[in-house]
């Protein structure tokens, strides 16, 4: 039985299998516009792919041989429509690429951010695993990064991991776990009360 083609951008896809979805944009029909997607990771565009027109609907079809080259991780994905000199962003989201099930390499379910966070924590505690001493972050070996900078990197990657957890929770229909503060403005002479809840 053929897989159902989604009419929106997926938030989670598996490397090594064919990716397909369609997108209809009433203001930007595929008969007049082109649509390209850009995958960004660590602040840089790693790959891009286009779509084909089916009437006024865009069809995305990425071969399994191409997706097999994608590194499992969480990417920013941006969709841009173009016509002549005009360009508009029509999608800006997150795409989690899962490990290729046919890969012969050892499976590690952790995202890139989680792996780096764990390694930085190990370096700060002086317990880098054997064989990982040469791991580089930003072109520098992790065992040569000063402790102060490691702490700054730790906070950055900690935020990235927390964002991934929130996205995963929301994708599963659960609350993000993020505290949201609310302050009620009371009438004159009455004390204001603040509350917080998990969104």
Instruction: Map residue 139 onto helix, strand or coil.
Output: coil
pLDDT at 183 over 60: no
CA 124 to chain centre: 26
Which CATH number covers residue 40? 2.60.40.10
- Structural contact between residues 21 and 8, judged by C-beta atoms closer than 8 angstroms: yes
Mean pLDDT of 141-150: 80
How is residue 123 annotated by DSSP?
H
Residue 6 domain-assigned (yes or no): no
Question: What is residue 53's predicted lDDT score, i.e. its pLDDT?
Answer: 95
Statement to judge: residues 89 and 121 lie in one domain: no
State how far the alpha carbon of 45 is from the alpha carbons of 71, 143, 176, in Å: 13, 28, 27
Model confidence pLDDT, tens digit, residues 66-95? 998 888 888 899 999 999 999 999 999 988
Tell me how far apart the alpha carbons of residues 125 and 60 are, in angstroms, rounded to a whole number.
46
Strand order of the β-sheet with 19-24 is 19-24, 57-62, 52-54
Domain assignment present for 5: no
Of 98, 126, 152, the residue at which a domain comes to its end is 98
Q: Are residues 93 and 120 in the same domain?
A: no
pLDDT in tens, 41-58: 877 888 899 999 999 999
Sign of CA dihedral 181, 187, 192, 193: negative
| Separation CA 32–CA 83 (nearest Å) | 7
**CA atoms of 26 and 61, how far apart (whole Å):** 21
In a domain, 2, yes or no: no
Average pLDDT, the chain: 80
Pair (52, 90) in one structural domain: yes
Report which of 114, 113, 111, 13 is spatially closest to residue 66, judged by C-alpha positions. 13
Q: What is the mean pLDDT of residues 145-171?
A: 85
65 and 126 both lie in a single domain:
no
Tell me how many domains the chain contains: 2
Instruction: Pick the last residue of a domain from 98, 124, 159.
Output: 98
* 81 plus 117 within the same structural domain: no
Structure confidence at residue 43 (pLDDT): 75
Does some domain include residue 143?
yes
Same domain, 43 and 80: yes
Both 94 and 16 in a single domain?
Answer: yes
| pLDDT for the residue 180 | 47
Same domain, 93 and 50: yes
At 172 the pLDDT is 64
Query: Is 76 inside any structural domain?
Result: yes
Same domain, 143 and 93: no
116 and 94 inside one domain:
no
Burial class of 182 by CB neighbour count within 10 A (0 to 12, 13 to 18, 19+): exposed
Domain that holds residue 161: 112-180
- Whether 83 and 25 map to the same domain: the answer is yes
pLDDT tens for residues 88-121? 999 999 888 888 888 756 556 677 788 788 888 8
Q: Is residue 186 in a domain?
A: no
CA 6 – CA 23 distance, rounded (Å): 9
Instruction: Determine which of 26-30, 168-172, 178-182 has the lowest per-residue pLDDT on average.
Output: 178-182
Q: Identify the H or E element spanning 157.
A: helix 147-171
Q: What pLDDT, on a 0 to 100 scale, did the predictor assign at position 154? A: 87
């Amino acid at each position: 039985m053929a897989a159902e083609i989604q009419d929106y951008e997926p938030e989670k896809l598996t490397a090594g299998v064919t990716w397909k979805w369609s997108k209809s944009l009433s203001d930007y029909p595929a008969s007049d516009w082109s649509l390209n997607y850009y995958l960004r990771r660590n602040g840089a565009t790693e790959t891009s792919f286009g779509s084909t027109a089916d009437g006024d609907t865009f069809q995305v079809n990425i071969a399994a041989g191409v997706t097999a080259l994608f590194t499992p991780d969480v990417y920013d994905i941006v969709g841009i429509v173009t016509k002549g000199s005009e360009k508009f962003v029509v999608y800006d989201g997150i795409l989690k690429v899962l490990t290729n099930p046919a890969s012969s390499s050892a499976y590690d379910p952790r995202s890139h951010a989680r792996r780096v966070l764990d390694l930085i924590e190990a370096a700060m505690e002086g317990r880098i695993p054997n064989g990982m001493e040469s791991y580089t972050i930003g072109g520098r070996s992790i065992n040569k990064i000063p402790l102060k900078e490691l702490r700054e990197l730790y906070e950055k990657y900690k935020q990235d991991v927390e964002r991934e957890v929130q996205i995963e929770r929301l994708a599963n229909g659960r609350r993000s776990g993020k505290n949201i503060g609310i302050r009620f403005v009371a009438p004159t002479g009455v004390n204001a009360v603040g509350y917080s809840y998990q969104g």
